[in-house]
């Protein structure tokens, strides 16, 4: 067994650790950092999107090498509402992510190496090699934890080349005019080029059951209805994202190796998206002029605790969405949300709602029975406890 010592060892070259490694390189260039992943490319198989207001202008600047597409806005479709929103939307592909990390990090990136054992000051790889570090940060993706009670956003996506241009100018973030069955069901479409679309069949649901064959069929039928002529299937992707209903933050963090990204619970509670929090955390950890690797674990902890507190209103909304009313009527809650002013919608996705926004979101005739909604806010069914 051989051993080598680093200042910071980042486990998992996914979104959160990839952004953190880049910012460490840019802001703390003298550090010895190593980013390890068991995959053959950094970032896995993803298309990560984010809203314009999710990031500040400095973050837009440093994240721009990763960004493959930018749209000036998007649209949503519901049974009683069609709306165009002039809120910018951007997309990072894992292919580009991998290319940028390779060119920026060079020998700081170690791929095709599985971490089999992780201790506070060293890890063991499947090859038997030991890597030592002053600080080890775990970014190996979401891990179920009984301290969080969650529901799910499930989706299956296909990237298609079409035989004719599709004419779609903007993403359709939610097309909920599709059949609703025991969940909030919508189709999400990104126009990646005039003849290429990413189409995702998506469900907000209580369980993790997604029949891939049904999703493929739904995408095919949906594309047909839109008049899109699918020609070549380029790629498929599949996601199970946690939607937090409630939880015990202290228990979640107990005995925890310093971690980032989904593993640290750093995702938007209502969408399961994590680009924005990953970028903010990377900045928060690297900007300090008194930086030392030993400070990272406590900085991460305080960042995550603050995020958890900020998200309490979102968790309450999630409980209203998932625990009140019939699952196949959930679209009404989202349709009502999309009638709000654009700036409230932007702040919602950015996780920066104001008190006035809270009032606005909750006011008006509720789309679910009031008593059930109130009950949902204060109660939780144990069957939704994540194991």
- Applying CB under 6 A, the residues found at the interface with ligand FAD are 11-17, 36-39, 44, 46-50, 114-115, 139-141, 237, 239, 241, 261-263, 272-275
Query: Shortest gap between Cβ of 113 and ligand FAD (angstroms)?
Result: 7
51 within 8 A of 60, measured Cβ to Cβ: no
Which residue's CB is nearer to ligand FAD, number 88 or number 141? 141
Query: Shortest gap between Cβ of 159 and ligand FAD (angstroms)?
Result: 11
CA 70 to chain centre: 18
Query: Shortest gap between Cβ of 64 and ligand FAD (angstroms)?
Result: 16
CA–CA gap between residue 353 and residue 341 (Å, rounded): 13
Which residue's CB is nearer to ligand FAD, number 13 or number 105? 13
Query: Shortest gap between Cβ of 382 and ligand FAD (angstroms)?
Result: 26
The pair of three-digit structure tokens given for residue 135, joined into one six-digit string: 């600080």
Spatial CA neighbour of 220 closest among 211, 233, 210: 233
CA–CA gap between residue 294 and residue 385 (Å, rounded): 34
Which residue's CB is nearer to ligand FAD, number 261 or number 325? 261
Which residue's CB is nearer to ligand FAD, number 183 or number 324? 183
SS3 255: coil
Which residue's CB is nearer to ligand FAD, number 12 or number 247? 12
SS3 148: strand
The residue with tokens 């002029």 is 289
Which residue's CB is nearer to ligand FAD, number 141 or number 297? 141
Query: Shortest gap between Cβ of 135 and ligand FAD (angstroms)?
Result: 17
Residue nearest to ligand FAD (CB): 14
Contacts 24+ apart (CB under 8 A), 26-31: 26/62, 26/286, 27/286, 27/287, 27/291, 28/286, 28/291, 31/7, 31/293
Query: Shortest gap between Cβ of 276 and ligand FAD (angstroms)?
Result: 7
């Amino acid at each position: 067994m051989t051993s080598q010592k680093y200042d910071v060892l980042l486990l998992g070259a996914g979104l959160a650790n990839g952004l953190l490694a880049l910012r460490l390189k840019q802001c703390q260039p003298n550090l010895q950092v190593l980013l390890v992943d068991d995959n053959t490319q950094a970032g896995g198989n993803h298309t990560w999107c984010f809203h314009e207001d999710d990031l500040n202008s400095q973050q837009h600047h440093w994240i721009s090498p990763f960004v493959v597409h930018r749209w000036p806005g998007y649209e949503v479709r519901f049974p009683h509402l069609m709306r165009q929103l002039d809120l910018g939307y951007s997309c990072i592909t894992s292919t580009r992510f991998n290319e940028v990390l390779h060119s920026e990090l060079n020998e700081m990136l170690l791929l095709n190496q599985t971490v089999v054992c992780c201790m506070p000051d060293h890890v063991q790889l499947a090859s038997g090699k030991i890597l030592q570090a002053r600080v080890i940060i775990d970014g190996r993706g979401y891990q179920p934890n009984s301290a969080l009670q969650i529901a799910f956003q499930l989706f299956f996506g296909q990237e298609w080349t079409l035989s004719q241009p599709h004419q779609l100018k903007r993403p359709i973030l939610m097309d909920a005019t599709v059949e609703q069955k025991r969940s909030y069901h919508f189709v999400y479409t990104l126009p990646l080029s005039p003849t290429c679309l990413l189409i995702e069949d998506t469900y907000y649901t209580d369980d993790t059951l997604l029949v891939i064959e049904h999703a493929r069929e739904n995408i095919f039928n949906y594309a047909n209805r839109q008049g899109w002529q699918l020609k070549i299937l380029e790629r498929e992707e599949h996601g199970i994202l946690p939607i937090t209903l409630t939880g015990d933050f202290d228990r979640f963090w107990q005995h925890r190796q310093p971690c980032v990204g989904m593993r640290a619970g750093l995702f938007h509670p209502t969408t399961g998206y994590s680009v924005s929090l990953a970028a903010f955390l990377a900045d928060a950890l690297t900007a300090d002029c008194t930086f030392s690797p030993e400070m990272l674990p406590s900085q991460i902890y305080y960042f995550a605790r603050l995020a958890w507190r900020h998200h309490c209103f979102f968790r309450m909304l999630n409980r209203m969405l998932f625990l009140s009313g019939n699952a196949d009527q959930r679209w009404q809650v989202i349709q009502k949300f999309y009638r709000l002013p654009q700036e409230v919608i932007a702040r919602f996705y950015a996780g920066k709602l104001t008190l006035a926004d809270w009032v606005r979101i909750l006011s008006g005739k509720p789309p679910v029975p009031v008593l059930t909604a109130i009950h949902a806010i204060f109660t939780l069914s144990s069957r939704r406890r994540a194991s």
